[in-house]
A and B are shown apart, each in its own frame.
Chain A
């Protein structure tokens, strides 16, 4: 099969969008032809952090993303150093 050009593809996309049908994204709904317009994300999933937003880091399972800090890892309360230190080390705590 000869390779179509990008122009031909885009033309095909435009023709088919007009005939697009919505697809219900429910497990077990059965298979159907891919709609040319992306189906809406179910409301229950929209903006849900656990789903990520399919950034390329999500695709590769990276959490947090490479370029993101870790906002939830630091305990900002003052630690009780005396409780954490071994008895022999307490003399060094000011």
Chain B
């Protein structure tokens, strides 16, 4: 049966309709001047759909097929490449020319013929580490792809030393050591409460493995690290065997569950983890964490209930305290859904977050869409500098790009993909991170749309392999 997306609740006509193609644009159209010291590659992921999912699919698109974008910068020019990740799952469905996998992270809804095929859709995040460009999805082990051609090269278990069944899409790279702190939850299989935390050295070898038990089955989408600790928040989005057997996607919000935050010493073992407890907080992504004496602070976007407004808050964990409570304060009321930072300062004392945010439109019309702004938030003072993006656009996750040969925090650029609803195509917006109020420096124009993305990362050419396919 031919593919037909019409009538599916996940695909109203519009910007997020499936795109379903690989693409190459050599020497993209650029409005403005791209600084020549931007030399490297911006990667981003999006979820796309080759085949029509079940009607009760999770209404987020997070069960779509991974599609990776590569914007390669050189001497003021940009070459674009977009590729589906050739996962075992996608290839199996293409072979049969139909959807075989069921709803989000629910194998009970799969076609029996795919029971032994890796469920990973490889659709969430990319990281370059140990000589590999990983494409991650938290329910499986990573795939890796060629950083230039984006050819899918296979899945990876770190020379057999990563024994957990899952690896989250949000490992952390310690800028001081080059180590990757990776983890998996539901690490011994679906619905298990096992968490595995790995230290992987700069050359990609596992050097440490710690197994923990989560206090309850909740989503652990992201972690944070300091120089001494791994911070593991368990959020009140839960699941059950009954839910999966009823055919529903994995997660449901349960506001009666607490927020549990595990603080694991990086040089410690499972017995050393300390769990802090607070009321339910809705959050998935964490900005950064730092050690301050014997306390740990972490900044993050969060809301008090499932559907409350988002704010950037700070959680403080006093390791001297005998209480299991932690403290909370508001850093900024900007929505700040996906804050990023200068990753060279990850786990260290830092000051700035970069955020694609929304502010009320200047127009008097209350139904006017929100204005889209690229923001720099000073997490120490709450001060915000911002650049408004003109037109009917929505911004995807921002990414900080350090200026070449500069080591100062925040000296560089902010890159953001804008969904342009006027043209039904996508633009890459480039701004100067230290002078956002001066406006957009350059816009890379794509002649087609990129669906709403998940996450982005930047790697300078100096850390990537030499380019052999200059003209491809």
Contact = CB atoms under 8 A, between A and B. Distances in A.
A49 B370 CA distance: 7
Given A48-B360, A61-B338, A31 B15 contact: no
A73 B307 contact: no
A70 B216 contact: no
A66 B279 contact: no
Interface string A54-73: 11111111111111111011
A2 B325 CA distance: 17
A61 B215 contact: no
Interface in A6-26: 6, 9-10, 12-13, 23, 25-26
A69 B258 CA distance: 34
Contacts of B273: 1
Nearest to B47: A66
A91 interface: no
Nearest to A70: B14
Given A64-B15, A73-B14, A30 B329 contact: yes
Interface in B227-260: 256-259
B93 to A, nearest CB: 20
Interface in B294-337: 301, 303-311, 314, 316, 325-333, 335, 337
A40 B359 CA distance: 20
A21 to B, nearest CB: 12
Interface residues of A, number: 53
Interface string A25-64: 1111111111111110110011011111111111111111
B358 A32 contact: no
A3 B327 CA distance: 22
A87 interface: no
B304 A27 contact: no
B308 A38 contact: yes
A73 to B, nearest CB: 4
Given A34-B326, A37-B279, A72-B392, 17 more contacts: A3-B213, A6-B216, A25-B330, A27-B382, A30-B329, A33-B327, A34-B325, A38-B305, A41-B308, A42-B333, A60-B284, A63-B419, A63-B452, A65-B60, A66-B10, A67-B10, A70-B15
